[in-house]
Amino acid sequence: MSVLPITVYGDKILREIAKPIENIDGEVIAKIQQMFFTMRQASGIGLAANQVGWNGKLFVIDLSPVEGFEDHKPVVMINPEIVEKSDELVIFEEGCLSLPFIRAEVERPESIVIRYYDTDEKEHEIEADDWFARVIQHEYDHLLGKMIPDRVTPDLKKKMQKELLRIMKRQIEPDYIITEK
């Protein structure tokens, strides 16, 4: 299976709103498998379709590499919709494969309820909290064209500008394949 190049800050597709998946066919399943493979090769725990150049409304998550989540099964969320968010907010440091070498404190709801379809076209509605809720919200943001710099304070975003520019110019060398300039 081939590794897909990961889109990085400055790539137009990361700012587009994802299009709903109309048909969950063999082509979609193959892309999902490639996404999992690519994410794992890059040591990621979540990956949205637009991060591999596909404007489909889906993301994959595998928390099993995270301590305390070893038994968490990988999940595919197709056409997800966050239908409820807790009032309690928590701040935690996040990273992103599309923002190599950048980490930032991001405030998000502690728990959410999300509705989505799986690869068998079955609808699910689950409540997620803790790290799982955070990763879902991070990947969901990608489907809305949002990224970590959109979720931090203006001062912190200003401090990131130099590194964001380096990413846009491909003056970085992550240990995974990224799109060409």
Q: What stretches in the chain show pLDDT beneath 50?
A: none
Q: In terms of pTM, does the model score above 0.75? A: yes
Model pLDDT, residue 181: 79
**Rounded distance between C-alpha atoms, residue 146 and residue 31, angstroms:** 22
Q: Is residue 1 part of a domain?
A: no
pLDDT digits (tens, 9 = 90+) for 80-91: 999 999 999 999
Q: Is residue 181 part of a domain?
A: no
pLDDT digits (tens, 9 = 90+) for 53-70: 999 999 999 999 999 999
Catalytic residues: 139
Q: Is residue 61 part of a domain?
A: yes
Q: Is residue 173 part of a domain?
A: no
Number of structural domains (the chain) is 1
The answer to whether 112 and 137 are in contact (CB under 8 A) is: yes
CATH code (residue 43): 3.90.45.10
